Amino acid sequence: MIILIHFHLKNAIIIGKKKYRDIQYYTEVGEITTDLGKHQHMHDRDDLQAEQAERELRQRLKAAFKHFIDRVEGITHGQIEFDVPFRELGFVGVPFRSTVLLQPTTHCLVMLTEQPVFVITLDEVELVHFERVQFHLKNFDMVFIFKEYTRKVEHVNSIPMTSLDSVKEWLNSCDIKYTEGVQSLNWARIMKTITNDPQDFIENGGWSFLEPDSSDEEQAEEEEEESEYAPSGSDAVVESDESELSGETEESEEDSEFEEELGTDEESGKDWSELEEEATMADIERGGHVEEDTNLSRKRKKSSQKHETPSKRKRRK
């Protein structure tokens, strides 16, 4: 077990001929390695006494470190603040070459038990991006992008996929925005493009290109434009269909009227035989009237001859 105090400095100091921003004081409690070749009984009195002495030493060292921290915070009136890592929020990752336990604190994400140490100050982080987030993969990567764009991004690789939800919850509690994607990005080129023209980067939406919904939104906008155009065409088609239907209904009405007229004419019309009979009857009636007229004219002539005087008759002779 190791008990340590780590100082992460805002400005580097020179020790020897090198600059350092991370300084720590630590002590080891108990044996780091155990010889498995020893065959000792678990109830050996010497072993029990050694374990008891180790526990007491651990408690004394913890109390000494805690007393030092309280005195420093009291003397500086809170200007220097010490964070204690939350081990229950820790997750496994590879910040450098080996797999280590990363533990969040109130203001940082740290790994202090191996060299080189890994310290990320959360106030300096602008965005966290998750790479290789796919269901069929067992691990994903985590990229820290800082508010100072000239600073190199930090990577934590090979984080188990089972820790993704807990890491997201921790970032939400710290009010840090995060995005995720399915592939790894060339961050050196991206940051170089941003630093060359930061104004253009801001005008084009900033980090919106990292959001997985950006491509979906563009497709949705295109679909909306197509849908907005489609109703006008459909209306035109409907109008043309309605005009065609109205024309067809008018033609059908005219045809029905013409058929009705034909039907009435056919119903009111007579056959040729009936017409011939009517014509013959009319001729017969006309012939009877002519004979009656001739008979009447003859009778009138006879009556007129009877009433004539003898002188007139002689003259005619």
Q: What is the pLDDT along the chain (317 residues), one digit of tens a residue?
A: 788 888 888 889 998 889 999 998 888 776 555 555 555 555 566 677 778 888 888 888 888 888 988 898 889 887 888 888 999 999 999 999 899 999 999 999 999 988 899 999 999 999 999 999 998 899 999 999 999 999 999 999 999 999 999 999 999 999 999 999 999 999 999 999 999 999 999 898 889 888 876 555 555 555 555 555 445 444 444 444 555 545 555 555 555 554 554 444 444 455 667 777 777 787 777 765 545 555 555 555 555 554 444 444 444 44
Whether residue 174 contacts residue 120, with contact meaning beta carbons closer than 8 Å, is answered with: no
**pTM passes above 0.85:** no
Backbone angles phi, psi at 76, to 5 degrees: -85, 0
Strand 91-93 versus strand 154-160 pairing type: unpaired
Whether residue 102 contacts residue 156, with contact meaning beta carbons closer than 8 Å, is answered with: yes
Whether residue 163 contacts residue 215, with contact meaning beta carbons closer than 8 Å, is answered with: no
Structural domain boundaries of the chain?
2-31+45-76, 87-210
Neighbours of 58 (CB within 10 A): 14
pLDDT at 34: 55
Q: How distant, in Å, are the alpha carbons of 285, 287, 298 from that of 293?
A: 13, 10, 9
pLDDT at 111: 94
Q: Which amino acid is at 191?
A: M
Q: What's the CATH class of domain 87-210?
A: mainly beta
* CA dist., res. 93 & res. 79, Å (int): 32
Whether residue 5 contacts residue 23, with contact meaning beta carbons closer than 8 Å, is answered with: no
- The overall longest dimension of the chain from CA atoms, in Å, is 201
Nearest by Cα to 82 from 71, 91, 96: 71
